[in-house]
Amino acid sequence: MAAPGLDVLFCGINPGRWSGAVGHHFAHPGNRFWKVLHLAGFTDRQLDPEEDRLLLSYGVGITNLVERTTAAAADLAPEELRRGALSLERKLRRLRPRSVAFLGMSAFRVAFGRPQAGAGRQPELCGGADVWVLPNPSGLQAAYGLDQLVDHLRALRRFVHDARTCAIDVAGQRAPR
């Protein structure tokens, strides 16, 4: 679910079984994405997974690195992740979001051949978009607590806000990116 000119395109790894069954991103009740997105200030209320299309009105979209549904992201082969990265780069060039935010550091590292990539903004662009790597909000991901996830997304939100503000020139017209 993406549209041209978004502020942020969130990129999950792939649909889990629950999300695949219901056809909505981050749909498992244990996934913290929707709560974190709201607490970080991207939405004015906590959306339900069934409302994922409403994100477009907030300048936000969602996609996946790999479209194949699996029980766990670990079920994906490295070559699937690398193919997904190539496909995503084409999508980014077509849609031109300001930023892309990967939700899953390990998958990003494999997909883009960046074994040392850490959380936060990355030095390179992907498909013309600023790249952020963020922890996976899955409830299975115990390494990051809710507060840490919110802090990471707040940093992204501040960056997006600042980038949007800087892209408006004195006459109030959007400056070219």
Q: Give catalytic residues, as residue numbers.
A: 14, 25
Which stretches of the chain are DSSP H helices? 17-22, 33-39, 78-95, 105-111, 146-166
d(C-alpha 15, C-alpha 124), whole Å:
26
d(C-alpha 89, C-alpha 134), whole Å:
18
Residue 155 amino acid letter:
A
Q: Are 130 and 121 in contact (CB under 8 A)?
A: yes
Buried b (16+ CB within 10 A) or exposed e, 101-140: bbbbbbbbbbbbebeebebeebeeebbebbbbbbbbbbee
d(C-alpha 133, C-alpha 75), whole Å:
21
